[in-house]
Amino acid sequence: MVEVAMTARDEGGPATSGSGVKSPAAPVAAGSRAAGNPSAANALAGSGNSSERSAGGASTAAMPSDSPGSRAAGAGPVDLDDIQGLLRFGFKHHTEALILLLRVKDAAAARSWLAQVQVTSAVTLDPVPPTALQVALTRAGMAALGVAGNAVGGFSEEFLEGMAGDGNRIRRLGDVGASAPELWNWGSGDREPHVAVLLYAMPGHLADLQHTTELGCALGFDVTYRLTTTDMGGREPFGFADGLSQPEVDWDRVLAAQDSEQLSYRNLSCLGEFVLGYPNEYGLYTPRPLLPTSLDPQQVLPRAEEDTSSADLGRNGSYLVIRQLRQDVRGFWQALNARAGGVDVEREALAAHLVGRTRDGAPIVIDRPPPALGSPPASASASPDLNAFTFDADPAGHRCPIGAHIRRTNPRTADLPPGGDGLVSRLIRTLGLNSESRARDLVASTRFHRLLRRGREYGTQVTPEQALRLQTPVESGLHFMCLNANIQRQFEFVQSAWIMSTHFNGLHCESDPLLGNRKPGPGGLRCDYFSMPKADGLTRRLENLPQFVTVAGGAYFFLPGIRALRWLASAASA
């Protein structure tokens, strides 16, 4: 959870990139790097509209050519004043936060409030304002406001169906058993919110912001749930340093609008991976609602960059995924303590192996001996950049286990397995002509599956030492939030193919050690293991791992551009 299921409050910190082997016509094994292409992502992350629009305007579901290209037609400065600030900033200075989940009770009054509410943009302000407000809507919310179906039909299938709206999706996301939607506090059935209002404030300012906001929207909305947060001082509830890994977004648009093979890990991601209406890592435009200009006579909406004859409802917006993850802090540390025989350093080493980092954030894969079981954990100060690493030098997981949380959520793979720069070497790796290249080509390329994380912790903060003494669990967890332009190819792929998969990167019967639901596999095979291989050929395998995280709520939202928000409010009343 340190890499994906934890918070990220900086507007662009280190994380990772990669791509996929460019052979879209070839069969794609689950998890292979060829899964970076759109058709393979469909197979692994579920059905849906995966066609993307090229920078030249043509719609295509195939991989773009690798021939030299130019920037997208009409490329220019980013419309920061039309983008909600959450996409660019994590509001790290605003340590107080609250998420209001609303349902429409009076559509006209709700539209009136949405038409005038002050939304914080992505423009940098100095000094930083003491508060910030963001607004996102579900598909059910758009319907409740009266937005016509033909105006929103171009949104993604995942958004239109909802997180809990399809049984296959529920299964792929791992939301079964104790995490089943029928057990959620919110997000399922008539508990699905229509609007999420995200409030951020510097210390001492949240109460007034909440009062003003709830008073202002009271005529149009009922507040059905308030997701409170807790400032845990840069740590997530299990006690690990948080917000360390984050993609750097190409806000200056220096990357060409084309898909060029990446042979090494790259942290910079195309703007269109997170903001709709701009080219993504394929050099294509992610599908979104492009409307005839007759539906926007006042020209409230921006025009599409690749098709200026269309009003772009999606441009400058993004999909916001919110999931309430309840963390069993007591169960986590007591389970590890039992397996460590009550030895402190052994317990810390086990925890570091499960996560892939020490509690201070130091990655255990970096070039120094890993925290061998029975030795003191390393300090974060040993590495000034806690994200300047890949897993290329540790293919067998001797330093950082293959199934460690940070290795699953951010594999840091490139377009090809590691190797030389020569033509022959690249050809061998592309075609998988030797066993080594095939063995190191089991994980999809990372750069097509990036997430901007914006989560916040909630509940009671306890130290590991306190957790060992607890007699009953405490309510604690994370409001996981991420932004992505393609829910299927980004969030759902990471969640299903990497986190919940029991066969990630050649493993067997192991899901993510933190987020896994431990559900038995086909034939009733147990999937509650975690393997820690050693260089001497031995492997220590933990078994009977309990489930440490359960889902208590969730939904897919559209975080619109500010002009699109105003259009949605006015179009619904037309």
Q: In this model, does residue 359 exceed pLDDT 50?
A: yes
Question: Are 514 and 237 contacting, i.e. CB atoms less than 8 angstroms apart?
Answer: no
Please indicate, yes or no, if residue 449 is contained in any of the structural domains: no
CA atoms within 13 A on the CB side of 182: 3
The mean pLDDT value of the chain amounts to: 84
Least confident of 20-29, 433-442, 563-572: 20-29
Please indicate, yes or no, if residue 373 is contained in any of the structural domains: no
pLDDT at 262: 74
Position 8, amino acid: A
Please indicate, yes or no, if residue 307 is contained in any of the structural domains: yes
Please indicate, yes or no, if residue 312 is contained in any of the structural domains: yes
pLDDT at 572: 60
Share of the chain above pLDDT 90, in %: 70
pLDDT at 415: 67
Please indicate, yes or no, if residue 7 is contained in any of the structural domains: no
Domain count, the chain: 1
The structure's pTM equals 0.86
Question: Are 45 and 28 contacting, i.e. CB atoms less than 8 angstroms apart?
Answer: no
pLDDT at 51: 55
* CB crowding 97-120: b at 16 or more within 10 Å, else e: bbbbbbbbeebeebbbbbeebebb
Question: Three-state SS string across 528-557, please?
Answer: ECEEEECCCCCEEEECCCCCCEEEEEEEEE
- In tens, the pLDDT along 212-254 reads 999 999 999 999 999 999 999 999 999 999 988 899 999 999 9
Please indicate, yes or no, if residue 304 is contained in any of the structural domains: yes
Please indicate, yes or no, if residue 346 is contained in any of the structural domains: no
What is d(CA 531, CA 436) in angstroms, rounded to the nearest whole number? 21
Least confident of 52-61, 132-141, 346-355, 473-482: 52-61
Instruction: Specify the pairing of strand 456-459 against strand 539-542.
Output: unpaired
- In tens, the pLDDT along 327-339 reads 999 999 999 999 9
- In tens, the pLDDT along 148-161 reads 988 999 999 999 99
Give residue 139's domain range.
Answer: 52-61+76-323+558-573
What is d(CA 564, CA 291) in angstroms, rounded to the nearest whole number? 12
Please indicate, yes or no, if residue 275 is contained in any of the structural domains: yes
